[in-house]
Amino acid sequence: MTNTTKPHSTSNDAPAPSAPSTSTRRFGRAARRLTIAAAFIALAALWWSWRSGQPTAPEGFTVLLDGAPKGIDPRFSTSDFSVKLSRLVFSGLVTVDNATGDVELDLAKDIKIVSPTHYEITLRDDALWHDGKPVTAADVHYTFTTLNDPKVRSPFSGFGKRIERIDIHDPHHFSIHLKDPHAPFLADLAFGIVPKHLLEESGVFPDNTAVGSGPFKLHSRQGNVWVSLEAFDQHHKGRPKLDTVVFRIMPDDNTRVLALMGGSGQMAQNAVSPLMVPVVERDPDLEVVSAPSFKYTYLGLNLAREKLADLRVRQAIALAIDRQEIIKYKFNGTARLATGLLAPSHWAYNGQVETYSRDLERAKALLDEAGYTDPDGDGPLPRFEITYKTTTNKFRRAIAELLASQLAEVGIKVKVLAFEWGTFFTDIKSGNFDMCSLQWPSVIEPDLYTWIFHSKSIPTAENRSAGANRGRYVNHELDKLLDAARQEMDQDKRKALYNKVQAILARDLPYISLWHEDNILVIDKDVQDYQIVPNARFRGLEKAKVVPSGSLPL
């Protein structure tokens, strides 16, 4: 596999020659090399669509997803899949979907920080909604001030509560006044803007509809089967070269691989298991590209559980895990050890924190010290048993089983429980777990530490959206550092504060940091100019084009 940060792109910006239809290319490829198994799956899918009466997906450039977005309205998009599609349909004042994660102007033409609580913003005068009406300051005002409206019930209500007022000076010029300084606010302006003129009465888009100002507009959707987007001809940054992009949801790992090899999918980003990459690499029509990411994978621990509340037990678990072995044999080297939430390339990263290399004897000694002695020495009886919740994804479950076997070597019996995503995530959010493994897919703004580890971010039955401190971790020294970092506008001073935050978390281990997984792109070789961004969003689709090497005979 290619391990490189080089984007999948060319420097040729000339218009692409007209391509044969997707069905022609698909049939030609199938006639040449489609496996019997893939053909069977394709026929089975067609039969099921006919039997269930579901319409087939439109023709177009097909991206395969391993999970379904719940919606794309930015005011309610919390899942990774929803956010990724939402960013294609709804533009924000700024974007951070780029190679560095830096703030880049989008709907905003200019932003002046007059003071830590006063932002003067000028909108582009060529930004349009998909229905042709202009994007105005009134739309921004509507979007931000209604987030904390009880009728809207947005999970992002905290964003709106930070704003004291928005003054509109003219349709393209307004100012935002915050109640208090908030250092991450500039990056927060990447939030997708929604059209006031369509939502003022009902507050929500009708089912399966959405109107944004992004590079693509929503064409159609069929449940959890597919979502179809069309290029927006009047987009303010230029029309995408792909006319139609179809996101097909295929939860099964093998089905996605067969679809790529059979030509019924042109791209999958982080939707092919690293263990399957060698199989895909042998396909002459596909290319595999891997690049570093902002993704962070961790082992979450519920500190409300008596055993896991003991730091010595958490340290023993960290010392029992052989992360290097897992990266080598499960990821084929396409992941990098993590010392905490932030990747080494991040401006606030602190690499001088406590780390835990595998040390079984030290782990056993810590468990003995904590009072969890081995009842029969090297015999089969465990010191204690805990549960480990994960999803039904085959790759993630395999990693969970491997982690369980490693912990068994120090006398900790781990029962792995796998659930479909909805059930799994509901349990995690409600604190119904001992251990779990999850991933933060886009760690850019370090204020995320507040959402995850501040004591005020512990969700309760009364307030499920309080934050993501699902392990019930409390450290008041950390709270003070996070509060100070949130209001500090000087980046060097913020970095110093977050250095201390990272040191405390590495010591206390509310999370056991595992790795930063590479972004793995599998893409048809006829596709040019698609660029991977570290946060794994689909911004590359704005520039991507298909340049076929030649039509295949029928």
Q: Report, in angstroms and rounded to the nearest whole number, the Rg of the chain calculated over CA atoms.
A: 25
Architecture of domain 296-517: Roll (3.10)
Per-residue confidence of the chain (554 residues) as pLDDT tens digits?
333 333 343 333 333 333 334 444 444 454 444 443 444 445 445 434 433 455 677 889 999 998 889 889 999 998 889 999 999 999 999 999 998 888 999 999 999 999 999 999 999 999 999 999 999 999 999 999 999 888 888 888 888 889 999 999 999 999 999 999 999 999 999 999 999 999 998 888 988 899 999 999 999 999 889 999 999 999 999 999 999 999 999 988 899 999 999 999 999 999 998 888 999 999 999 999 998 898 999 999 999 999 999 999 999 999 999 999 999 999 988 999 999 999 998 999 999 999 999 999 999 999 999 999 998 877 789 999 999 999 988 889 999 999 999 999 999 999 999 998 889 988 998 889 999 999 998 888 999 999 999 999 998 877 767 789 999 999 999 999 999 999 999 999 999 999 999 999 999 999 999 999 999 999 999 999 999 999 889 999 999 999 987 544 44
Pairwise CA distance, residues 417 & 439, whole Å: 17
| pTM to 2 decimal places | 0.81
What would the two tokens of residue 318 be?
């960290």
Whole-angstrom distance, CA of residue 522 vs CA of residue 520: 7
Residues of the chain with CATH 3.40.190.10: 2-72+214-285+521-546
Are the C-beta atoms of residues 227 and 210 closer than 8 Å to each other? no
Closest by Cα among 348, 520, 512 to 443:
348
How many Å apart are CA 299 and CA 317, to the nearest integer? 10
DSSP state at residue 554: -
The 3-class SS string of 374-390 reads CCCCCCCCCCEEEEEEE
Q: How far apart are CA 411 and CA 364, in angstroms?
A: 8
Q: Exposed, middle or buried: residue 395 (CB in 10 Å: 0-12, 13-18, 19+)?
A: middle
Q: What is the DSSP letter of 305?
A: S
Per the CB < 8 A criterion, the answer to whether 294 and 97 are in contact is no
Classify each residue of 154-165 as buried b or exposed e, where b means 16 or more C-beta atoms within 10 Å of its C-beta: bebbebbebbee
Structure tokens at 364: 């056993």
Strands 545-546 and 527-528: antiparallel
From-to residues of CATH 3.10.105.10 in the chain: 296-517
Closest CA to 442 of 340, 236, 295, 328: 295
Q: E-assigned strands of 277-383?
A: 286-291, 296-301, 335-337
Enumerate the β-bridge partners of residue 113. Answer: 119
The CA distance from 515 to 468, in Å, is 20
Among candidate residues 477, 439, 381, the one with its CA nearest the CA of residue 66: 439
Q: Are 401 and 382 in contact (CB under 8 A)?
A: no
| 91-199: CATH superfamily | Dipeptide-binding Protein; Domain 1 (3.90.76.10)
Q: 166 - beta bridge partners?
A: 176
* Lookup result for tokens 């263990």: 275
Q: Which of 210, 94, 76, 78 is nearest to 149 (CA)?
A: 76
> Residue 42 in contact with residue 258, Cβ under 8 Å?
no
Give start-end residues of each CATH 3.90.76.10 domain in the chain. 91-199
What CATH number labels 2-72+214-285+521-546?
3.40.190.10
**For residue 489, which amino acid is it?**
M
Which of 207, 220, 238 lies closest to 128, judged by CA? 238
Tokens of residue 33, six digits = 């090399």
What is the reported pLDDT for 24?
A: 42
CB 246 within 8 A of CB 65: no
3 state SS for 58-70: CCCEEEEECCCCC
Q: Report how far Cα 315 is from the mean position of its chain's Cα atoms.
A: 28
- Which DSSP letter does residue 191 get? S
